[in-house]
Amino acid sequence: MATLKELSKVQERFVGGHRLCAGCGHGISVRMILNAVEDANVVVGCATGCLEVASTIYPYTAWNCSFIHNAFENAGATISGVEAAYRALKKRGRIDRDFKIIAFGGDGGTYDIGLQSLSGAMERGHNIVYVCLNNEAYMNTGIQRSSATPVGADTTTSPAGKVIPGKQQPRKDLTAIMAAHNIPYAAQTAIHSWQDVHKKAKKAVEVEGPAFINVLSPCPRGWRYNTEDIVEITRLAVETRFWPLFEVENGKWKLNYKPKKYVPVEEFLKPQGRFRHLFKPGNEHVIKAIQEEIDRRWLALLERCGETPELPPR
């Protein structure tokens, strides 16, 4: 595994001048992921969303590599076309350089509106990497719920009201859905651990065939935390098992991180404005339900990974 010092020498492909918010996970995620391609040529495809609008305001671009944005729901199909073009030009001897083809989409563009396009790309076996920058809501349009939004979160379309305390439905397990496509590599990672992101990005880039990475990429506007706390918030998501780190290589599930002790989910919820209402008297049952769901999914994940299904020691 490369050291940070070595990685700092890799050519930057996402550079300064973009308009992402302070404390946004996307810039960090993109740089960490693209670091893994080292010195290969890259084409980046991007779904409509925060990353695209903040990094490509004409006549400027923050992308120091080829980049294409098409529409909201078609990043998967668009890079399928780029990858087919790559194979066609190679086959016909019109290019001789090697390229890595990587797509980025937010959770809205991936879990929801882009799911069909992504599923098609994965099923057809294109040699691509699709990265979901998951900030758990439609942030670019102003914090609307998506199917990646966790239970209880206050968003503008699942507001915490007098009767309904935020989002009611548990989130979709997209990483498992992608793994069910029997692709060679699918993984879940988070930016508090550059080693974890780097290892997974490297595997995804190097594997022959489609790979999917789901990155938890916090949003200070939507989650309402202090911008400087982004890494800490991400770490708490993993420590509370709210966002487990795992990978699925050729159908084999592997857990990448086991918290040493049982950290209650409140620790992750408390610093965030989107969950503030859950700490008001009368909403204890919501937090209890969130914890139960986390524990249930954790045990199921351990079982899938061939580990003893047990909760961390309290």
In whole angstroms, what is the distance from residue 77 CA to residue 67 CA? Answer: 15
Q: Are 149 and 155 in contact (CB under 8 A)?
A: yes
Count of residues touching another protein (by CB under 8 A): 48
By beta-carbon proximity to another protein, the closer residue of 119 and 291 is 119
267 interacts with another protein by CB under 8 A: no
119 is a site residue for another protein (CB under 8 A): yes
CA atoms in the 13 A half-sphere facing the CB of 37 = 22
Q: Which is nearer to another protein, 120 or 170 (CB)?
A: 120
Q: Shortest approach of another protein to residue 4 CB, angstroms?
A: 26
Q: Is 77 in the site for another protein (CB under 8 A)?
A: yes
Q: Measure the CA angle with vertex 119, ends 250 and 145; round to 5°.
A: 115
- In angstroms, the CA 271 to CA 280 distance is 14
Q: Which of 7, 11, 21, 120 binds another protein (CB under 8 A)?
A: 120
Interface stretch with another protein, choices 43-51, 196-204, 205-213, 284-292 (CB under 8 A)? 43-51
**Do the Cβ atoms of 236 and 210 come closer than 8 Å?**
no
3-state SS assignment for residue 101: strand
Q: Does 11 bind another protein (CB under 8 A)?
A: no
The stretch near another protein (CB under 8 A) out of 67-75, 152-160, 183-191, 243-251 is 67-75
Which CA distances in Å does 301 have to 127, 181, 203, 256? Answer: 27, 18, 21, 11
65 lies in the site for another protein, by CB under 8 A: yes
Piece in contact with another protein (CB under 8 A), picked from 79-87, 131-139, 225-233, 264-272: 79-87
- Residue 224: DSSP 8-state: T
Q: Look at residue 161 and give its three-state secondary structure.
A: coil
Q: Which of 16, 58, 208, 281 binds another protein (CB under 8 A)?
A: 58
